């Protein structure tokens, strides 16, 4: 078994039937949380991407079902929260969620039903990975997939702080963080993500990022020809682009799609915390500790001498006397 599985080019492609080695594995890791100077892999995989064409989505939730089935998660049966969303939010057991919003287009006065499949965007510049304090709990492969390695996760929630899209969820059961894996285990054996494979309208497609961009462009062109002047691609540059990206019919207003951030980026507060605070903080503490140790060894200590003791005895004695006389 020396041949490796090919990188999947489409979501629908059937997997190879013969046994093959993994198409990518730990050797293809380009970034590891809390680990500086990761040795770079010798090969560069094709960048992959999942494209979600919001204009083609019918809100059937087949993607959610496929996600649950493939990842073997058990989302709780919940109550209705007033919308079609079910469960009410992303959870440690639900890595992707159809978000439904009703929006009145001020130009046409039409009610538009906007449905967005929410989940990890697989940022090129992942905020979760930068915030994570546990070495090896979050990795990024050279094909762009950002994956959580659960056995290294400590459940601190720093990834929640780092993520510009509010994606990771910490399990109250095993105290580890969960999110969409982009089906890295499927991609590694030549198959597309489960959600993309299940999508009945091909609103979710998968392939190389280049192919997906080209496909997205043709979709945008089509939408524009049908009156959606502001149709466009949502591949936010603030996080270096993403490996899950959208075609939106109102790309000028991402926030109408259930608060999709207009200009997502890793918060400057998080950058400051994980950047200058970490480095300068260590330096200041190190210098202070070393300085105190050196001063402790070499500085003349502040000693009490015999004279002080005598003074104290005289003082106590004198007070004693004055008290006894009174």
Residues of this chain that interact with another protein (CB under 8 A) are 34-36, 133-135, 152, 154-158, 160-161, 163, 166, 170, 172, 175, 267, 269-270, 272-273, 277-278, 281-282, 284-285, 288-289, 292, 295-296, 299-313, 315-317, 319-320, 323-324
Residue 20 token pair: 């093959």
Beta strands 177-178; 97-104: pairing state: unpaired
Choose between 190 and 236: whose C-beta lies nearer to another protein: 236
Give least dist CB 28 to another protein, A: 22
How far apart are alpha carbons 265 and 270 in whole angstroms? 10
How far apart are alpha carbons 215 and 246 in whole angstroms? 11
Among candidates 187, 255, 190, which has minimal Cα distance to 50? 187
Choose between 34 and 256: whose C-beta lies nearer to another protein: 34
Give least dist CB 110 to another protein, A: 33
Give least dist CB 152 to another protein, A: 8
Does residue 117 contact residue 204 with C-beta atoms inside 8 Å?
yes
Give least dist CB 312 to another protein, A: 3
Choose between 7 and 152: whose C-beta lies nearer to another protein: 152
Q: How far lies 117's CA from each of 94, 163, 284, in Å?
A: 12, 17, 46
Those residues with Cβ within 8 angstroms of residue 75's Cβ, 6 or more apart along the chain or in another chain = 68, 87, 91, 93, 94
Choose between 104 and 318: whose C-beta lies nearer to another protein: 318
Choose between 48 and 266: whose C-beta lies nearer to another protein: 266
Give least dist CB 298 to another protein, A: 11
How far apart are alpha carbons 78 and 252 in whole angstroms? 34
């Amino acid at each position: 078994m020396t041949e490796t599985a090919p990188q999947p080019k489409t979501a629908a492609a059937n997997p190879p039937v013969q046994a093959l080695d993994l198409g990518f594995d730990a050797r293809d890791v380009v970034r590891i949380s809390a680990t500086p100077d990761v040795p770079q892999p010798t090969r560069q995989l094709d960048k992959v991407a999942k494209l979600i064409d919001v204009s083609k989505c019918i809100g059937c939730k087949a993607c959610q079902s496929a996600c649950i089935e493939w990842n073997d998660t058990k989302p709780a049966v919940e109550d209705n929260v007033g919308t079609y969303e079910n469960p009410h939010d992303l959870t440690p057991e639900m890595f992707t969620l159809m978000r439904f919003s009703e929006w009145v287009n001020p130009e046409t006065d039409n009610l538009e039903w906007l449905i967005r499949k929410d989940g990890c965007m697989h940022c090129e510049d992942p905020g979760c990975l930068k915030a994570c304090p546990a070495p090896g709990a979050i990795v990024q492969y050279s094909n762009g997939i950002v994956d959580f390695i659960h056995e290294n996760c400590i459940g601190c929630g720093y990834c929640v702080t780092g993520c510009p899209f509010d994606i990771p969820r910490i399990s109250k059961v095993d105290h580890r963080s969960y999110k969409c894996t982009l089906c890295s285990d499927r991609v590694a054996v030549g198959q597309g993500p489960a959600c993309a494979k299940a999508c009945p309208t091909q609103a979710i497609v998968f392939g190389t990022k280049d192919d997906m961009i080209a496909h997205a462009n043709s979709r945008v062109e089509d939408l524009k020809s049908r009156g959606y002047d502001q149709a466009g691609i949502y591949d936010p540059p603030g996080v270096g682009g993403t490996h899950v990206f959208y075609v939106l019919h109102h790309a000028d207003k991402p926030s109408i799609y259930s608060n999709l951030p207009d200009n997502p980026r890793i918060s400057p507060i998080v950058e400051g915390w994980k950047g200058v605070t970490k480095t300068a903080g260590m330096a200041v503490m190190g210098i202070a500790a070393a300085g105190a140790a050196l001063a402790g060894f070499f500085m003349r200590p502040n000693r009490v001498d015999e004279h002080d003791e005598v003074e104290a005895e005289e003082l106590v004695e004198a007070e004693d006397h004055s008290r006894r006389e009174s």
